[in-house]
Chains A and B, each alone.
Chain A
Amino acid sequence: MADFGGGDLDALRTEAKEWIAANFPASLKGRPNPMMREERSTPSPEQEAWRKAMGEKGWGVPTWPAAYGGGGLSAAEARVIQQELGRAGAYNPIGGMGVMMFGPTLLEYGTEEQKQEHIPPIVKGELQWCQGFSEPGAGSDLASLQCKAEDKGDQFVINGQKIWTSGAQFADWCFCLVRTDTSKKHEGISFVLFTMHQPGVEVRPIPLIAGNSPFCETFFTDAIADKKNLVGPLNGGWTIAKRLLQHERSGLSGAGGGGFGMGGRGIVQMAKDYVGADDDGRLSDSDLRTRLIMNEMDGRAFQQTAVRSMMESRSNSGPSAATSIMKNAGTRWMQDRAELTLEIMGHQGLGWEGDDFSSEELGAVRGWLGGKATTIYGGSQEVQNNIISKRILGLPDLTNNS
């Protein structure tokens, strides 16, 4: 059984409670995280104050080293912070791709200088990052990317196109995979960083089936990346990209354990309200009931697995191939749940806009559609199965996607 007890944690808990009480604006209590929405580009003064406070404290990224402004806490201590934020109804205002995937990767592969320059603004939530990986011709087979960077002394000059670049229209910086050698596939890729605020960068938002436009086509015409912003060796970007994708996956699988549609009354109560129950208290649609139970069980077993892998790997750091399992299990569960939610709502679950539908109903439709992306990005479901079969099960790989 978990034993995170002990006096030190209790002291930290008290400190966290007091600090959150003193710094978290009461008006934001229980409000959604603006980081997760398009309104993030126009934060309110309270939202800004909360971001700054957490940024200074370093608790937005509690386990990152204190040397770069992070919390410098252990995983167990970080959980205490997370629990106390939850208890206070406070969201974590420090997030985005810098936190989820770029920061951890740079901490591992960056030079001291690069870390000093790029980590603190992520910790403080001052700069937003976007991921320039996918191209029209390079999706699952990412290593076939063509966007090229030419060596011009102390700069790289970048020409080409990226696509599906999430948040490119809001981003300040881009971590980008570029081709620096056309004679090799994986060994001709480099990992570079550059500002999005320069003339050679153009972004065009793409509307999604869910009606919003969270990602863009991104065009580079003689865009500039300084040489000091090459991460890892020249033509050594693929290893770093793979590591970053592992962080992306573990972030995404974590989302599965959280709460799609968990806000408010919960899916079971929702089902009772829309569908009704028989005299024994069973949902009156027995077919729906069975599938709902199976989904509830899947979610529970997923959470149990997250706890188990945390207990088992307290010594070893960073994500592993096991994140592929978690990504597939978590996204499968979430998508099934979104489908069940629509089914429970019936015709009311098909509203697109207007006063005839509650915000919960409208949100369910958008969430259902948006959620379809989770088995496509971060390595599609099929790509995760390839990874499990090759890296964990030791079966031969015919795609040669090392």
Chain B
Amino acid sequence: MAVLNEEQSMLRDAAKSWTQEKSPVTAFRKMRDSGVDVGYDANAWNEMAEMGWAGVIIPEEYGGSDFGYLSIGLILEELGRTLTASPLLVSAVGAASALVLGGSDAQKSEWLPKIAEGTAVGALAVDEGAHHNPSKVETTFSGGKITGKKSFVLEGFKADVLIVSAKGPDGVGFYLVRGDDAGVSRTRLALADSRGAANIEFKGAAAEPLTGGAEVVEKVLDRVRAALSAEMLGAAVQAFEVTLDYLKVRVQFGQVIGSFQALQHRAAKMFTDLELARSAVEAALQAIDAGTPDVPELVSLAKAKMGDTFHLVSNEMVQMHGGIGMTDAHDAGFYLKRARAAEAAFGNQAFHRDRYAKIQGY
């Protein structure tokens, strides 16, 4: 765990006690069983917003606290532990950072305070196919209108404001589209991890450009990738701890299964990988806060390492639980499904390995 300042410790403690009391995994299970179309519990989201979590990276003049990315990463890590579903990632990190980095004064004044207080939800519409590939953009902007199809838009089904990547007269950049515009047509996606997502078609929807072009698109994506990695870290750590607890209580062959070295060494490997992944995730968030030039490579490192680690731990969680891990009544399946969805979001391991090497020149 990174060395924290006082605000950060308080945020983390608040997030820890809130998720454990108000949003344990049973809450996620209830949300899933209810079949709610947005893929999160609106009351829980309100409580999170009331605690100021949606404004953590938003400047004070727009109603935020400007605590930074390590801070919101700490919150997401705790939410990840209990698989708490919410628009915090794409709204309070994604849409918020797009507006902070590329919004006009008018756009900031209109949207940031609402995002900070959670009364508006923003989403990022970037991908156009089965794989994350932000440089491949066929959606176009011309004459103030956006036309094209976006896929796998997390929290996109009911989002109030959509930050859409499109090709305009000056190349690829972000555009702001109101969710209720008549040119927006959305289809809800039912995903294995039960979170909210949509495919969205823009048929000449009214759009306003953000500044900064493709550079801001990449900067925003890196912020979301790092923050998502923090959520994955929390989920992976929890999956590991639950499994470790099980190794200490499940008896077979007259002894707890945690006494079998075949399982012990796999547990030790998981713990080692989690420690390394934690370092990568925290370093990426700290680099964003410090504004250092190595943000892209550190973020790709974090997302790739975290993806591999969550992949491993979620598989082992099911395997080491034996038959019970295969049942829907057990939480292991939730972590497994969430792992794959989070790995695929904003670039899987292959994407980030390739990107890391390209940045390093090979």
Decide: A282 and B305 in contact? CB cutoff 8 A.
no
Decide: A396 and B279 in contact? CB cutoff 8 A.
no
- Cβ of B3 within 8 Å of any chain A Cβ, yes or no, is yes
Cβ of A252 to closest chain B Cβ, rounded Å: 15
Contact of B267 among A294, A302, A322, A393 (CB under 8 A): A393
CA distance A312 to B282 in the complex (A): 13
Known: A282-B357, A385-B268. A308 touches B244 (CB 8 A): no
Decide: A301 and B277 in contact? CB cutoff 8 A.
yes
- Cβ of A339 within 8 Å of any chain B Cβ, yes or no, is no
Decide: B276 and A283 in contact? CB cutoff 8 A.
no
- With both beta carbons as reference points, the residue of chain B lying nearest to A399 in the complex is identified as B261
> What DSSP secondary structure best describes chain B's contact surface?
helix
Contact of B282 among A282, A300, A308 (CB under 8 A): A308
- Cβ of B2 within 8 Å of any chain A Cβ, yes or no, is yes
Residues 262-304 of B, flagged 1 when their CB comes within 8 A of A and 0 if not, give: 0011011101100111111011001000100000000001001
Residues 371 to 402 of chain A near chain B (Cβ within 8 Å)? 382, 384-386, 388-389, 392-396, 398
Contact of A293 among B267, B276, B357 (CB under 8 A): B357
Decide: B283 and A304 in contact? CB cutoff 8 A.
yes
Cβ of B254 to closest chain A Cβ, rounded Å: 12
Residues 37-64 of A, flagged 1 when their CB comes within 8 A of B and 0 if not, give: 0000000000000000000000000000
- For the side of the interface on B, what is the size category? 35 or more
Contact of A311 among B3, B256, B275, B356 (CB under 8 A): B3
CA distance A385 to B268 in the complex (A): 6
CA distance A304 to B306 in the complex (A): 14
Decide: B276 and A312 in contact? CB cutoff 8 A.
no
Residues 279-315 of A, flagged 1 when their CB comes within 8 A of B and 0 if not, give: 0011100000110111011101110110110011000
CA distance A395 to B358 in the complex (A): 42
- Cβ of A1 within 8 Å of any chain B Cβ, yes or no, is yes
- Cβ of A362 within 8 Å of any chain B Cβ, yes or no, is no
B residues near A396, Cβ cutoff 8 Å: 255-256, 258-259
B residues near A386, Cβ cutoff 8 Å: 261, 264-265, 268
Known: A281-B361, A302-B276. A398 touches B259 (CB 8 A): yes
Residues 326-362 of B, flagged 1 when their CB comes within 8 A of A and 0 if not, give: 0000000000000000000000000001101110111
CA distance A301 to B269 in the complex (A): 15
- With both beta carbons as reference points, the residue of chain B lying nearest to A312 in the complex is identified as B3
Cβ of A230 to closest chain B Cβ, rounded Å: 36
- Cβ of A328 within 8 Å of any chain B Cβ, yes or no, is yes
A residues near B2, Cβ cutoff 8 Å: 308, 311-312
Decide: B272 and A388 in contact? CB cutoff 8 A.
yes
CA distance A302 to B360 in the complex (A): 18
List 6 extra interface pairs beyond A1-B290, A388-B268, CB under 8 A. A304-B276, A304-B280, A308-B2, A312-B3, A384-B268, A396-B255
Query: Which 6 pairs of residues, A with B, have the shortest CB-CB distance?
Result: A304-B279, A389-B264, A388-B268, A385-B268, A305-B279, A301-B276
Residues of A within 8 A of B (CB): 1, 268, 271-272, 277, 281-283, 289-290, 292-294, 296-298, 300-302, 304-305, 307-308, 311-312, 322, 325, 328-329, 382, 384-386, 388-389, 392-396, 398
A/B interface sample: 27 pairs, CB < 8 A: A268-B362, A281-B361, A281-B362, A283-B362, A293-B357, A296-B356, A300-B301, A301-B276, A301-B279, A301-B280, A302-B276, A304-B279, A304-B280, A305-B275, A305-B276, A308-B2, A308-B283, A311-B3, A325-B271, A328-B268, A329-B275, A329-B276, A388-B271, A389-B265, A393-B271, A395-B244, A395-B247
